[in-house]
Structure 1
């Protein structure tokens, strides 16, 4: 009996212990732990994300280029979709059944309980058709948002475009703040300044009943946060100059870059072939993008930043400046126009000094200038002498911002190529090359490559007599100025006095009378002195490329420009007049030159494009 009595107390103790455990747990859940209350609150709360207005984009004169416009997306929560009448749904939206299935599958893969976009950028008829019938399709809803629209048909390559964020992007920590269906800048300024343009999201909490009907703000909006609009971009682009440049380049391949040399601000940025920025907006954007991508003329290719070409005779100016700095020549140095060294472009007066050599673009003269720079009188070992000399020559050339990225406020910039001794070691073999291997660099040919932006920057550097500011598109962000790196002066290794030596010859290229290779760029009849240099770039794949680079007015430069036209032949007959028209447009606000306009814009301008 005592044994049974003992067991009774043990059973009582077990039940008491279990009761105490459950009681303690219940006390913890109801009094100490708030997670269950929070979960219950979530069943009656609706969290609404407020997407901010994306910053606007303006030109230098305050003309709006890019703005926002309301669009609508059809959202879906897969778990809430019940007995979907697919045939009727597809009929209302004019949506292929297979596309619906693919989109639903993607939505389920993202989340079964979170909303994600099923159809974006609904047109007004599509919105009207589905909105009145949403009650018959549980799990679907309409979400309004702002999308980009364009007030200009120009500047597509610089502005870039905005697109929906992809699942691959969402997996990256960099895009942790984004949600499915959000837009972000994909290319151009939209991409580079994404963090400035996007703004900051806001959140609102709303009480809803079991049927989802809103009952007002949660705790009087105590936990709500306001969205903050993105900052506006005030660009340095002169949109009227840009329009004119695109008109001149229509039907051609190439680029125009115009800078304000005193600030590094980009005034015009033309990449041809052209396309309108609105093409990459709205429903069907993906299909239109693929059409541009597969176009053999490559209109998406950003030529001023990505196309690298030998600069041709324009590079003779840099070559001369390096030689002047090294002290191996002076402005009064003369060389024979010796065709046994390298062929010249034409017969001309003897290049008795630098100005005559620049005016006539004498190839043998600049061959001998570079030979003096690289060899510097050394003759003990032709291989090692060339290695040492080329290394020093390259160091000074790169101080002009060549052979490396300038740092413009846009991605995808190419750095070009200024060949090094190591480059030729790899190309030809160690001790298997000498000056005769690299002499073509002296006239801007051979292995050298620069971009249109770099060429314009070289002109800005000469215009400033030895320094430049990093070229940039944005002169103001919100109420502030440009990014700090675009206000820093970059000084070349060449002294200012040597730059002054170039100006008379560059002016003679344009206004030097008989033999002037760039006479078609003259603005002398308006009292404007232009300093420039023509170039004809050899092209092993077809017709030569034409180039011209200049700045004006010569003694107080306000614009530096580089024009590059593929397969257009001599720079003086195509690129030079185009540069003149652009400079006249910017400096005078108008153009009165029907001869050259008819030549470049009128019937038959397809002569500048050769298909090989």
Structure 2
């Protein structure tokens, strides 16, 4: 028995020594290793989000900024002050928590934050979560300013935080590199539930850079209002033709300084309030309706391409003069119609007599341009393409946001794009000479073309950004060769004093020049043509007012002189602060 006891005692002693040895190894030999690993269990590195840079207009009025939003998060389990918290959240019972925490309240009103902070203090199953929200105190058209969204899976892989806001459209997306801030780094001590106990900021977040736009917020509002009011003129025309009335105008207005290409206003209609996308939780039903709307309120029509109609006649006039097809004194009869290739091409009911290029611009005489095209119906096509591109039609304007390039056809273009009918027919030249047929241009391109003509060949590159932080943005100005700028300018002036714009701008307090345009489209329905007007001023060199170029476009608006022309007058009145249009505002 004694030997057995001693054997048992020896066995226990051996086991005890093994435990002591193991403890020695853990506590002494491997102390550093396990101390570091233990610390990692309750210390973790986190990121702190940086606010996006603000977007302001040229005068410092804030268009887009940030606000601190606070949400109440429920982690599951019992909570104190349950009834009071449910009452504040507008709930009857606490929701069931399965895998992810549940938001009890989103965007808590500021007056309730102190109360909820007191109620949730020391509460392990509730926490107040701060986040940054994008807001637009002075919103401009949503398709122009754009909006932000949470990052996609691809953007998460690029390094964006799941709660970080990313520019998703418009200027917000185009200026992402400038507006995006630099995240901070925080060393946080957390408990077993993942809640912060204390933290230390290792690196402060750096806010994104403020961006000052070239836009003038007051002129932008005037342009957007002119677009909305355009529906009255559109419906007046539709009543005349017995067409269904429009519920809203579809179009764009672009205003710019021709000297430097600064876009002072870019309005598009219909549009949406970008605050719709900044709300949380998002009103998904309203957003779905927005994208399903047949009038396409998410489309920026200022950078979308359409048949330019008679505004394109300035490119044809410039080519005709510069290439020697006509001179300043060459006259053609502005007849009611022309027969070419066995096809009668109608224009007007009366014979308006002999006209030079100036009168043809002023009265927008189609048959005059038909006769020019008939001089060289095949050879003129590629020449017109080249001159239109020089004037700024059919290529990018330089804007920071995406834009369509449009179409200025060539003989090769038709062979490549119309394989069923690759041959260029002479009659097609008559169509493109007046801005119809295959031609497509954007309102911003037409605005740059007019600025080039108004500046006698000095062509600015258009831009929407004036300053990034303290860094001024300057864009180059190029020179377009030409000898007949004066003839084009005089023709545009005659449009106002004698031609198709006289009834609206003939008595305007500032001397201006311009061109109406009515473009047929795929509907081929009278009264549903696209309506254009492009104008600039002052044309008097002694006038001290700053120069302005304005282009208005109304999709299926009817007549340029009846819809787009009055809209341009309103914008001009707002800019120069003259006339009854300005007083009415």
Asked if residue 506 in structure 1 is aligned to residue 492 in structure 2, the reply is yes
Aligned to 1:271: 268
CA–CA distance in structure 2, aligned partners of residues 394 and 558 of structure 1:
29
Instruction: Sort the Cα spacing of 1:329 and 1:26 in 2 relative to 1 into closer, same or farther, 3 A.
Output: farther
Q: Any idea what SS the aligned residue of 1:243 has? A: helix
Work out whether residues 508 and 579 of structure 2, in 8 Å CA contact, stay in contact via their aligned partners in 1. Answer: no
Work out whether residues 241 and 585 of structure 1, in 8 Å CA contact, stay in contact via their aligned partners in 2. Answer: yes
Q: Any idea what SS the aligned residue of 1:252 has? A: coil
Instruction: Sort the Cα spacing of 1:293 and 1:136 in 2 relative to 1 into closer, same or farther, 3 A.
Output: farther
Aligned to 1:257: 254
CA–CA distance in structure 2, aligned partners of residues 519 and 500 of structure 1:
20
Work out whether residues 573 and 581 of structure 2, in 8 Å CA contact, stay in contact via their aligned partners in 1. Answer: no
Equivalent positions of 1:28-427 (< 5 A) are 38-73=36-71, 121-124=106-109, 141-171=127-157, 173=158, 176=159, 178-207=160-189, 224-250=202-228, 251-283=248-280, 284-306=282-304, 308-338=305-335, 339-341=337-339, 342-345=345-348, 347=350, 349-372=352-375, 374-375=376-377, 386=378, 389-411=380-402, 413-425=403-415, 426-427=417-418
Asked if residue 522 in structure 1 is aligned to residue 510 in structure 2, the reply is no
In the TM superposition, what whole-angstrom CA distance separates every residue of 1:308-350 from its partner, at most 9, and x where no partner exists? Answer: 2211111000111122222222222212224224322453532
Q: Any idea what SS the aligned residue of 1:497 has? A: coil
CA–CA distance in structure 1, aligned partners of residues 172 and 106 of structure 2:
19
CA–CA distance in structure 1, aligned partners of residues 582 and 538 of structure 2:
22
How far is the alpha carbon of 1:143 from its aligned partner?
Answer: 2.1
Work out whether residues 535 and 551 of structure 2, in 8 Å CA contact, stay in contact via their aligned partners in 1. Answer: yes
How far is the alpha carbon of 1:260 from its aligned partner?
Answer: 0.9
CA–CA distance in structure 1, aligned partners of residues 508 and 173 of structure 2:
43
In the TM superposition, what whole-angstrom CA distance separates every residue of 1:50-101 from its partner, at most 9, and x where no partner exists? Answer: 222221121112222222221124568xxx866999x99999856899x977
CA–CA distance in structure 2, aligned partners of residues 248 and 554 of structure 1:
23
In the TM superposition, what whole-angstrom CA distance separates every residue of 1:246-269 from its partner, at most 9, and x where no partner exists? Answer: 222213221111111111111111
Instruction: Sort the Cα spacing of 1:525 and 1:94 in 2 relative to 1 into closer, same or farther, 3 A.
Output: closer
Work out whether residues 574 and 581 of structure 2, in 8 Å CA contact, stay in contact via their aligned partners in 1. Answer: no
In the TM superposition, what whole-angstrom CA distance separates every residue of 1:565-588 from its partner, at most 9, and x where no partner exists? Answer: 23332211221122122112112x
Aligned to 1:610: none
**TM-score calculated relative to the size of structure 1:** 0.76
Work out whether residues 167 and 180 of structure 1, in 8 Å CA contact, stay in contact via their aligned partners in 2. Answer: no
CA–CA distance in structure 1, aligned partners of residues 439 and 387 of structure 2:
15
Unaligned runs of 5+ in 2: 1-23, 229-247, 340-344
Aligned to 1:592: 580
Equivalent positions of 1:409-448 (< 5 A) are 409-411=400-402, 413-425=403-415, 426-427=417-418, 429=420, 432-448=423-439
Q: Any idea what SS the aligned residue of 2:328 has? A: coil
Work out whether residues 466 and 499 of structure 1, in 8 Å CA contact, stay in contact via their aligned partners in 2. Answer: yes
Work out whether residues 121 and 282 of structure 1, in 8 Å CA contact, stay in contact via their aligned partners in 2. Answer: no
Instruction: Sort the Cα spacing of 1:457 and 1:210 in 2 relative to 1 into closer, same or farther, 3 A.
Output: same
How far is the alpha carbon of 1:503 from its aligned partner?
Answer: 0.8
How far is the alpha carbon of 1:303 from its aligned partner?
Answer: 1.3
Q: Any idea what SS the aligned residue of 1:289 has? A: helix
Work out whether residues 142 and 298 of structure 2, in 8 Å CA contact, stay in contact via their aligned partners in 1. Answer: no
How far is the alpha carbon of 1:181 from its aligned partner?
Answer: 1.6
- Name the structure with the higher helix share: 1
How far is the alpha carbon of 1:217 from its aligned partner?
Answer: 5.9
Work out whether residues 348 and 360 of structure 1, in 8 Å CA contact, stay in contact via their aligned partners in 2. Answer: no
Aligned to 1:467: 458
In the TM superposition, what whole-angstrom CA distance separates every residue of 1:407-464 from its partner, at most 9, and x where no partner exists? Answer: 31113x2221112323322426576332213320011111111112222222112122
How far is the alpha carbon of 1:357 from its aligned partner?
Answer: 1.2
Q: Any idea what SS the aligned residue of 1:151 has? A: coil
CA–CA distance in structure 1, aligned partners of residues 554 and 312 of structure 2:
16
CA–CA distance in structure 2, aligned partners of residues 591 and 268 of structure 1:
20
Q: Any idea what SS the aligned residue of 2:206 has? A: coil
Instruction: Sort the Cα spacing of 1:548 and 1:404 in 2 relative to 1 into closer, same or farther, 3 A.
Output: same
Aligned to 1:579: 568
CA–CA distance in structure 2, aligned partners of residues 150 and 345 of structure 1:
49
Work out whether residues 81 and 138 of structure 1, in 8 Å CA contact, stay in contact via their aligned partners in 2. Answer: no
CA–CA distance in structure 2, aligned partners of residues 192 and 117 of structure 1:
34
Number of aligned pairs?
Answer: 527
In the TM superposition, what whole-angstrom CA distance separates every residue of 1:461-487 from its partner, at most 9, and x where no partner exists? Answer: 2122223222221101111112xxx61
Q: Over the residues paired in the alignment, what is the CA RMSD in angstroms?
A: 3.7
Work out whether residues 76 and 125 of structure 2, in 8 Å CA contact, stay in contact via their aligned partners in 1. Answer: yes
Work out whether residues 518 and 532 of structure 2, in 8 Å CA contact, stay in contact via their aligned partners in 1. Answer: yes
CA–CA distance in structure 2, aligned partners of residues 435 and 428 of structure 1:
17
- Residue among 534, 538, 543 paired with 2:516: 534
In the TM superposition, what whole-angstrom CA distance separates every residue of 1:183-203 from its partner, at most 9, and x where no partner exists? Answer: 111111111111211221111
Aligned to 2:477: 489
Work out whether residues 391 and 420 of structure 1, in 8 Å CA contact, stay in contact via their aligned partners in 2. Answer: yes
CA–CA distance in structure 2, aligned partners of residues 94 and 464 of structure 1:
63
In the TM superposition, what whole-angstrom CA distance separates every residue of 1:3-56 from its partner, at most 9, and x where no partner exists? Answer: xxxxxxxxxxxxxxxxxxxx999999667xx7x655433223243422222211
Instruction: Sort the Cα spacing of 1:414 and 1:51 in 2 relative to 1 into closer, same or farther, 3 A.
Output: same
How far is the alpha carbon of 1:290 from its aligned partner?
Answer: 1.4
Instruction: Sort the Cα spacing of 1:458 and 1:230 in 2 relative to 1 into closer, same or farther, 3 A.
Output: same
